[in-house]
Structure 1
């Protein structure tokens, strides 16, 4: 059974359980995505998320990053991270419009997510952007 389907199975009453939240937050890129969505409190484009991850991971101006780096970020977002977040029902991802928005129930788990994200010192630079 894949990690994505396991996350969806852990759901009860439409709200992910604590283990699911921890599993989703176990990856730095997914933490960056969630932090950016919580900070902005609005829909973000795939491009917005790619730029946030590129800035966070590479600490260089986007103009200086190779197109291959941006392509790898886009592929990992589309095929791994956004799918896992969507399976956990934390986001809604419109692939046609390349738009990512927080799921309606995100407010219910906001305190848990905020505690996890606030505990990650690597996200300090993201919060200062």
Structure 2
């Protein structure tokens, strides 16, 4: 995906949205399939800086909706992930692995993601 300046611009555009940077960082760190629930928890932890038990059900619901309708489809359209809707499972693709060095450089520049990403 990142071989030309146009492709790099696409990567930068993809990473402009903070929730998507969190999703990409978690997938890069974990190097395994994650559930939508796992990704929701990661977004709460890094974006809302609130303990999981203190987040309202409405906030969690809004995050899950954004995952289903915005972030997961965008990442899937770029062949970075495969999404199993029935199992609610997001799996990084070989394309994601190839993009890892460029993606890591962008993610590393985000000061809000400096803390280790743990679920």
TM-score w.r.t. the length of structure 1 is 0.83
Structure 1 runs of 4+ aligned residues shifted over 2 Å read none
Listed as ranges, the gaps of 5+ residues in structure 2 are none
1:114 aligns with 2:95: no
Q: CA 1:62/1:106 → structure 2, altered by over 3 Å: closer, same or farther?
A: same
Q: Structure 1 residue 128: deviation in Å? A: 5.4
SS at match of 1:101: strand
After superposition, the CA RMSD in angstroms is 1.9
Given that 1:20 and 1:88 are in contact with CA atoms closer than 8 Å, whether structure 2 keeps it comes out as no
Listed as ranges, the gaps of 5+ residues in structure 1 are 1-10
C-alpha distance in 1 between matches for 2:85 and 2:57: 21
Identify the residue that residue 74 of structure 2 maps to in structure 1: 84
* Offset from partner CA, 1:2-22 (integer Å, 9 cap, x none): xxxxxxxxx699xx9212211
Q: CA 1:33/1:128 → structure 2, altered by over 3 Å: closer, same or farther?
A: closer
